[in-house]
Amino acid sequence: MAYSFPEEVLEHVFSFLSSDKDRNAVSLVCKSWYEIERWCRRRIFVGNCYAVSPEIVIRRFPEVRAVEIKGKPHFADFNLVPEEWGGYVYPWIVAMSAAYPLLEEIKLKRMVVTDESLELISKSFKNFKVLVLSSCEGFTTDGLASIAANCRNLRELDLRESDVEDLSGHWLSHFPDNYTSLVSLNMSCLGSEVSFSALERLVARSPNLRTLRLNRAVPLEKLPNLIRRAPQLVEFGTGAYSAEIRSDILSNLAEAFSGCKQLKGLSGFWDVVPSYLPAMYSVCSGITSLNLSYATIQSPDLVKLVSQCKNLQRLWVLDYIEDSGLEALAASCKDLQELRVFPSDPFGAEPNVSLTEQGLVSVSAGCPKLRSVLYFCRQMSNVALIAIARNRPEMIRFRLCIIEPRAPDYLTLEPLDTGFGAIVENCKQLRRLSLSGLLTDRVFKYIGTHAKKLEMLSIAFAGDSDLGLHHVLSGCESLRKLEIRDCPFGDKALLANAAKLETMRSLWMSSCSVSFGACKLLGQKMPRLNVEVIDERDPPDSRPESCPVERLYVYRTVAGRRVDMPHFVYTMDEDAALRFS
Amino acid sequence: MSMPQEHDYIGLNEPLPMEKKPSSENEKNNVLNLKETELRLGLPGSGNGISLFGKDLKDEGNNGISQCPLKSFVSGAKRGFCDAIDSSGKWGFGGCEVDLARGAKSNNILQSCVKSSLKEICDGSPVKPVEEKKNENGNNAPASKAQVIGWPPIRSFRKNSLGNNVWKDGDGGGSSGCLYVKVSMDGAPYLRKIDLKTYSTYAQLSSALEKMFSCFTIGQYGHGLSRQEHLSESRLTDLLHGSEYVLTYEDKDGDWMLVGDVPWEMFADSCKRLRIMKSSDAIGLAPRTMQKCKSQN
């Protein structure tokens, strides 16, 4: 039966399948489809670099052109994962340099990337086009120089939010004079000044340049030189948006911006001097994405800018916008889909701005397309959460951070269980949820009962007992990633739901009540999980088995225990009983 | 499970039906009696709940050994955990059942406190119960509160770039924003990041570092000593203040200097990285520090 359909035809049909889910499904139909599919899969996504080994990937998929790999758990962003935990990309690069000479794309997130790795990339893949390093670390600007010098076909170099050791700005000058294929450059995380003339020449000889995100060191008065040379820009990130106030700078800038008819996204805006904001007004009507999360300007200036962006779909902003500004946003930007409000003074004892739950309620009421929210604030109430839930039942991502841990409903002093309960009950498509405030086991019962599409859940300082964790693990059918800190969750819920952990990508628990004994047991019973105890004190066996571990990271894997663990990471497996007795 | 109820946004919702434990405590509860309305939460294995608003901690003093890892909320994450483990060992495997009851009890007290206080709160005008209690905290850190590691969940690069915040008016204390620097310790396998802006004196910095790296040094000692011997406070202080280790930093010019020779502000402005070095390795530093200061003055 398989012979009636030529392989080439099947391959051609499969080439229209881009989603991994579809390709995985196709490969399970029968052996011959598995074979055909694996030879024509070009893109690989590895959500956890330790879930599989480079050798396994290469053996199954010999013709890959694009690789995306993620390393450290999400809580590493907040310094909860000790340095040296892992996530090294070098072994992957070595293996791929031999197996995938035609590799074009590497996208990494939260991985440790060395200059050595970058140099190997630059020399191994002749047709290398795309390098995205998101929240990575371990490399210097020397590594970037290798990429610039050797990757003749590079299209994209995106360093978003990586921690780069910035030795100098000289790396940019390593792009050869005959290099003209740049499409996207994001160097916003770098500190050093690059040679402006080198940057200017680079922009001038890159006719396909669509995305340019500068770093803070690029001065405002020089922006027109760049923008004029790239009127085809779609996304632009400024440097420091300040200069002494001169009308010629302003008019120069305004004229340059007005030439960018395709501009859709703006970012940067460090050190904003409000007088220069009007330079952008001419492009506002086309703007769909605006990142003002570094712009330390007051609400009236923010409102003036934002209310001109009638087509705005995504806004990142500091809480300087205040409730009044969010109300204005709700009135002007009816296409808004994503809102992120960051705190300007997260560690201040008193609120420094008038931003409360009211702002979020206004936006939820006024913006019918709102689906994705990240909101930092200092007070919340159940009635507000219920209102938000009812206003926006199509919400997909809801991440709320009430700055004070365990803060109750400020009106009633009750837990926020009913409020979050309303969110999960009304928003049936919810895929990501972050909780905060005072919460009992009850909220987890609501989540387990209603959040059937939930894929990622972040919990901090919440719950009363194991029952809370049990509700989540037993009820959330779509759960892939669960991260928990400082909650009284312990052994019972974990062991009772051990099988669930194989259906998830990972579980992170830190400062909870999971005992070393339970971790050992879990590791012994579940050979297809890596159960990592991450504990920087004396080895865990120097304490009673009932002592809780500092951190626990559990993830499914087909690669077995990893071999690059630092001394403070202990993998629990069948041998653990022998090693720790 | 009850359905979420519809509520008037400005008004107050009915309290959820809960078991009430009528007790004489109820009569005394009112908003003005802050102790009674303090939220108390216990964790499995802990003997006492910890007040959210610092009253327990004030009694114990900042360096008191705490039974409860929630202490970390005020004094730094590592310390609380180490102490809880080293001193109590009370974390029972079957702790959860016992504390389910305890937890429920404190929940009930909470509910009854809230119910009886509702009348006082019910003026309808803006309520500020949480804010009032915060001021009771007796927070000493200038213009900022003591930090829990990784909370609120904001990435370092974002925190660092808030350093140029120009809208703080009338802040008597330090400037706002953050300045994360890496801290390494000779022999320790891991680095830490700390925010220099949360400290305003060398003593604060030193004490924070002691807490942060104490568990590693306890570990080091643990190999030699028997398990029962715990490092006391003073022993630990000796480690850092005594001859064993010195604190050094790398400044903007890339030079390594001893910490403590220049005024705090100058240090905080120029410090790029910290290193806890063995004194034996640091012998060459002192003269250079003096020279550099002289040339800068």
- For A98-163, give the DSSP string: HH-TT--EEEEES-B--HHHHHHHHHH-TT--EEEEES-EEEEHHHHHHHHHH-TT--EEE-TT-E
User: B15 contacts in A (CB within 8 Å)?
Assistant: 412, 414
Instruction: Tell me the average pLDDT across A373-383.
Output: 98
Question: Is B89 part of the contact surface with chain A (CB cutoff 8 Å)?
Answer: yes
A321 vs A353: CA distance, rounded Å: 8
Q: Which of A77, A293, A566 sits opposite B189 (nearest CB)?
A: A566
User: B176 contacts in A (CB within 8 Å)?
Assistant: 345, 348
Mark which residues 231-260 of B lie under 8 Å from A by CB. none
Full DSSP string of A277-332: GGGGGGGGGG--EEEETT----HHHHHHHHTT-TT--EEEEEGGGHHHHHHHHHHH
What's chain A's length in residues?
Answer: 581
Q: What is the CATH number of the domain that holds A2?
A: 1.20.1280.50
Whether A418 is in a domain gets the answer no
Range of the domain at A31: 1-41
Q: Which of A375, A464, A567 to mutate to test the interface with B (most CBs of B within 10 A)?
A: A464
pLDDT level of residue B145 (50, 70, 90 thresholds): low
A362 and A330 Cβ atoms separated by less than 8 Å = yes
pLDDT level of residue A579 (50, 70, 90 thresholds): low
Task: Determine, for residues B96 and A546 on separate chains, whether the beta-carbon distance falls below 8 Å.
Answer: no
Q: Which of A271, A347, A425 sits opposite B145 (nearest CB)?
A: A347
A340 and B187 Cβ atoms separated by less than 8 Å = no
- Taking Cα atoms as reference points, which of A439, A428, A420, A355 lies closest to residue A382? A420
Please check the confidence at residue B169 and state whether its pLDDT lies above 60. Answer: no
B80 vs B215: CA distance, rounded Å: 11
pLDDT of residue B147: 67
Instruction: Tell me the average pLDDT across B240-249.
Output: 71
Please check the confidence at residue B223 and state whether its pLDDT lies above 90. Answer: no
Q: Using CB atoms within 10 Å of the CB of residue A558, give its burial: 0 to 12 exposed, 13 to 18 middle, 19+ buried.
A: exposed
B216: nearest CA in chain A?
Answer: A537
Alpha carbon B290 to its chain's center: 35
Please tell me the least confidently modeled range out of A304-308, A349-353, B20-24: B20-24
Question: Is A406 part of the contact surface with chain B (CB cutoff 8 Å)?
Answer: yes
Instruction: Tell me the average pLDDT across A387-411.
Output: 97
* Whether the model pTM is above 0.95: no
pLDDT of residue B297: 43
Please tell me the least confidently modeled range out of A455-464, B67-76, B208-217: B67-76
Question: Is B222 part of the contact surface with chain A (CB cutoff 8 Å)?
Answer: yes
A398 and A373 Cβ atoms separated by less than 8 Å = yes
Residue A62: asked if its preceding bond is cis (omega within 30°), the reply is: no
- A468-523 pLDDT per residue, tens: 999 999 999 999 999 999 999 999 999 999 999 999 999 999 999 999 999 999 99
Neighbours of B80 (CB within 10 A): 24
B229 vs B232: CA distance, rounded Å: 9
pLDDT level of residue A1 (50, 70, 90 thresholds): low
Please tell me the least confidently modeled range out of A286-295, B188-197, B286-295: B286-295
Task: Determine, for residues B4 and A418 on separate chains, whether the beta-carbon distance falls below 8 Å.
Answer: yes
Q: How many CB pairs under 8 A join A and B?
A: 221
Task: Determine, for residues B95 and A513 on separate chains, whether the beta-carbon distance falls below 8 Å.
Answer: yes
Please check the confidence at residue A397 and state whether its pLDDT lies above 80. Answer: yes
User: B183 contacts in A (CB within 8 Å)?
Assistant: none
Task: Determine, for residues B100 and A82 on separate chains, whether the beta-carbon distance falls below 8 Å.
Answer: no
Please check the confidence at residue A463 and state whether its pLDDT lies above 80. Answer: yes
pLDDT of residue B2: 47
A188: nearest CA in chain B?
Answer: B157
Whether A455 is in a domain gets the answer no
pLDDT level of residue B267 (50, 70, 90 thresholds): confident
pLDDT of residue B79: 38
Question: Is A81 part of the contact surface with chain B (CB cutoff 8 Å)?
Answer: no
pLDDT level of residue B32 (50, 70, 90 thresholds): very low
Residue A75 gets the label, from left (phi > 0), alpha (psi -120 to 50) or beta, of: alpha
The position carrying tokens 């791929």 is: A96
Task: Determine, for residues B144 and A349 on separate chains, whether the beta-carbon distance falls below 8 Å.
Answer: yes
Question: Smallest CA–CA separation between B3 and chain A, in Å?
Answer: 8
| Domains held by chain A: number | 2
Q: Which of B73, B81, B111 sits opposite A405 (nearest CB)?
A: B73
Please check the confidence at residue B248 and state whether its pLDDT lies above 90. Answer: no
Task: Determine, for residues A383 and B9 on separate chains, whether the beta-carbon distance falls below 8 Å.
Answer: yes
Residues 6+ apart with CB under 8 A from A495: A518, A521, A522
Percent of chain B whose predicted confidence (pLDDT) is above 70: 28
Question: Smallest CA–CA separation between B177 and chain A, in Å?
Answer: 7
Instruction: Tell me the average pLDDT across A297-309.
Output: 95
Tokens of A17: 């399948």
Q: State in words which class domain B180-218+231-278 has.
A: alpha beta
Task: Determine, for residues A491 and B93 on separate chains, whether the beta-carbon distance falls below 8 Å.
Answer: yes
pLDDT of residue A114: 96
pLDDT level of residue A325 (50, 70, 90 thresholds): very high
pLDDT of residue B37: 45
Q: Using CB atoms within 10 Å of the CB of residue B135, give its burial: 0 to 12 exposed, 13 to 18 middle, 19+ buried.
A: exposed
Please check the confidence at residue A91 and state whether its pLDDT lies above 50. Answer: yes
CA distances from A223 to A197, A215, A220, A227, A543 (A): 12, 12, 5, 6, 60
Instruction: Tell me the average pLDDT across A459-474.
Output: 97
Tokens of A290: 């605006």
Instruction: Tell me the average pLDDT across A347-361.
Output: 93
pLDDT level of residue A384 (50, 70, 90 thresholds): very high
- A409-444 pLDDT per residue, tens: 999 999 999 999 999 999 999 999 999 999 999 999
Question: Is B46 part of the contact surface with chain A (CB cutoff 8 Å)?
Answer: no
Average pLDDT, chain A: 95
- A512-566 pLDDT per residue, tens: 999 999 999 999 999 999 999 999 988 998 999 999 999 999 999 999 999 999 9
Whether A118 is in a domain gets the answer no
CA distances from A308 to A10, A221, A328 (A): 50, 24, 11
Whether A559 is in a domain gets the answer yes
Task: Determine, for residues A379 and B193 on separate chains, whether the beta-carbon distance falls below 8 Å.
Answer: no
pLDDT of residue B159: 82
- B183-199 pLDDT per residue, tens: 887 776 666 778 787 78
pLDDT of residue A434: 98
Higher-confidence residue: A107 or B132? Answer: A107
Question: Is B289 part of the contact surface with chain A (CB cutoff 8 Å)?
Answer: no
B224: nearest CA in chain A?
Answer: A538
Task: Determine, for residues A411 and B144 on separate chains, whether the beta-carbon distance falls below 8 Å.
Answer: no
Sheet of B180-185: strands edge to edge? Answer: B192-195, B180-185, B271-278, B245-251, B256-258
What's chain B's length in residues?
Answer: 297
Task: Determine, for residues A537 and B159 on separate chains, whether the beta-carbon distance falls below 8 Å.
Answer: no
Please tell me the least confidently modeled range out of A315-319, A568-572, B129-133, B257-261: B129-133
Higher-confidence residue: B125 or A132? Answer: A132
Task: Determine, for residues A83 and B190 on separate chains, whether the beta-carbon distance falls below 8 Å.
Answer: yes
B232 and B263 Cβ atoms separated by less than 8 Å = no
Question: Is B41 part of the contact surface with chain A (CB cutoff 8 Å)?
Answer: yes
CA distances from A263 to A314, A341, A487 (A): 14, 23, 45
pLDDT level of residue A2 (50, 70, 90 thresholds): low
Mark which residues 162-201 of B lie under 8 Å from A by CB. 162, 164-168, 176, 178, 189-193, 198
A70 vs A97: CA distance, rounded Å: 19
pLDDT of residue A125: 97
Task: Determine, for residues A379 and B144 on separate chains, whether the beta-carbon distance falls below 8 Å.
Answer: no
Average pLDDT, chain B: 53
B192 DSSP β-pair partners = B183
Q: Using CB atoms within 10 Å of the CB of residue A142, give its burial: 0 to 12 exposed, 13 to 18 middle, 19+ buried.
A: middle
Question: Smallest CA–CA separation between A35 and chain B, in Å?
Answer: 43
Determine which helix (DSSP H) or strand (DSSP E) holds A203, and give its type and residue range: helix A196-204
